Amino acid sequence: MTAGPAVRSNTRMPAHPETGTPIFVGGTGRSGTTIAAQLIGARADVALVPIELRFHVDPGGLVDLAEGRVTMDQFARRMRTTWYERPPKDGPRGLHVIAARPQLQRGLRRLREGLEADPWSASRRFLRDMVRPFRREAGAATWVEMTPPNAKAADALCRMFPRARIVHMVRDGRDVAASVARRTWGPNDVPSALGWWADNLIEIHRSIERADPARVRTFRLEALVGAEREKHYAALVDFLGREPDPGMREYFDRELTAERSHPGSWRDGLDTAEQSRIDELYDQQVERLALHGAAIPPAT
């Protein structure tokens, strides 16, 4: 999957992004977004936001506010409730993990004051206001955030943060579907989850086509753990626009291995006939992706 030519920068990306320029990681969900963000966040100069912020790309969130689809009052109401403190799940969730409520209140006030004059700049400042104290405490120059729908909002995030990097993670749809089917938030059977996977990739592809192609890059999880993993790791480091980092290198060597990522685990517990049926359904979805111009990159 490649970015299209719709929006392009007039200048080259700086070798070292300015302080506070974020890195967003996204994908379909269960596609390697968390491990990719953790890999990037292992760098000394990048602070890993430890939770999915969500408020910037969820429906009714910051992107919708900047685009005029929701009002400031609607956004602020959900910001104070839905996104500030989400119900715990395997640990605390929500903005409160990194930002105190007075910080939120100040940020909302500044957002309201600047929204009419320039909604995109005001939205960028609000998101930075929420993350800045956490980033500074970590002693990092920038930060990485891992809400999966970041990829669907690639074009809007490029507009909000003109120098941001957006890493789109892709994984074999059969492994994604098998994982999603075991969760409570998506389709609960593999055939339906395969359709969900392809639908999401088509939507992501459309967003990437509208985005600045210099700011968005797609990486295949299997390629980062395969025989040519060094080549793909080097491509990721280069895309980030930063020098190699020993913390990132150590995390890559330790965590991004075939043994840990379990490629092909969708076959577990299925007999030969069942595997063949899933293969057939997967091939149909891959063909549909190609017809939409959203062909996934190879696994090598």
**Can you tell me whether residue 111 is helix, strand or coil?**
helix
**Predicted local confidence at residue 90, as pLDDT:** 85
In the block, tokens 């992004």 appear at 17
Pairing state of beta strands 23-27 and 216-220?
Answer: unpaired
> Model confidence at 14, in pLDDT bands (50, 70, 90)?
very low
> In whole angstroms, how large is the CA radius of gyration of the chain?
19
Res. 293: pLDDT tops 50: yes
pLDDT at position 17 is 54
Q: How far is C-alpha 293 from the geometric centre of its chain's CA atoms?
A: 21
Q: How far is CA 143 from CA 57, 69, 130, 244, 247, in A?
A: 17, 27, 12, 16, 15
Residue 284: other Cβ atoms inside 10 A: 14
Q: Given the structure tokens 């105190």, which residue do they identify?
A: 100
Distances (CA, A) of 72 to 104, 116, 223: 14, 10, 42
Using DSSP's 3-state secondary structure scheme, residue 145 falls into: strand
Model confidence band, residue 19 (pLDDT cutoffs 50, 70, 90)? low
232-246: burial string, b at 16+ Cβ within 10 Å, e else: bbeebbebbebeebe
The mean of the pLDDT values for the chain is 93
The pLDDT assigned to 18 comes to: 57
Distance from C-alpha of 168 to C-alpha of 185, rounded to nearest angstrom: 21
- Is it the case that residue 3 has pLDDT exceeding 80? no
The pLDDT tens digits for 142-198 are 999 999 999 999 999 999 999 999 999 999 999 999 999 999 999 999 999 999 999
Instruction: Give, for 59, the enclosing helix (H) or strand (E).
Output: none
Return the minimum-mean-pLDDT range out of 1-15, 32-46, 68-82.
1-15
| CA dist list (Å): 121 to 111, 115, 127, 260 | 9, 8, 10, 41
Q: What is the pLDDT of residue 240?
A: 96
What does the longest C-alpha to C-alpha distance in the chain come to? 62
pLDDT higher than threshold 60 for residue 7: no
DSSP 2-49: ---SSS--SSPPPSSPPTT--EEEEESSSSSHHHHHHHHHTSTTEEE-
- Cα–Cα distance between 169 and 36 in angstroms, integer? 8
Residue 12 has pLDDT above 70, yes or no: no
